[in-house]
Amino acid sequence: MKTAIDRLREYRARQDTKPQDMPLPGHLRSGEGSLERRFGPRAAELYPHLGKTVQTPEGGGRLWQVFTVRVGVVLEASPERVTFFGPDEIRPCDDPDGARTGRPVG
């Protein structure tokens, strides 16, 4: 039977484990196509652009949400609401800082 001291030692040993030493869940593992397999190729491409400037068929805006079948953008023309588009309708802008000006990439 384990004593309280043994349990305390085990707890402290677990706390000393660094995050890089711990295995990631399957959907977070880096690897070829892990995001693509879960969310689809186009949606996976848009995730790094969350909060940055994108171009839509209705003009520029900030990428707000990304789902497999729809993407939410806060348009500059109507900043009080989120407008939804298909993932294929969104073009990230090439400004590395996500500034409001920029040319669509791709």
Q: 102 pLDDT exceeds 50?
A: no
CA distance 16 to 37: 33
Q: What is the residue extent of each domain of the chain?
A: 31-92
Q: Which amino acid is at 5?
A: I
- Considering only residues 40 and 58, tell me which one the structure prediction assigns the higher pLDDT: 58
pTM score, two decimals?
A: 0.56
pLDDT at 20: 53
The label of the residue with tokens 């995050």 reads 19
- Domain topology for 31-92: SH3 type barrels. (2.30.30)
Average pLDDT over every residue of 61-69: 90
Phi, psi dihedrals of residue 89, rounded to the nearest 5°: -90, -5
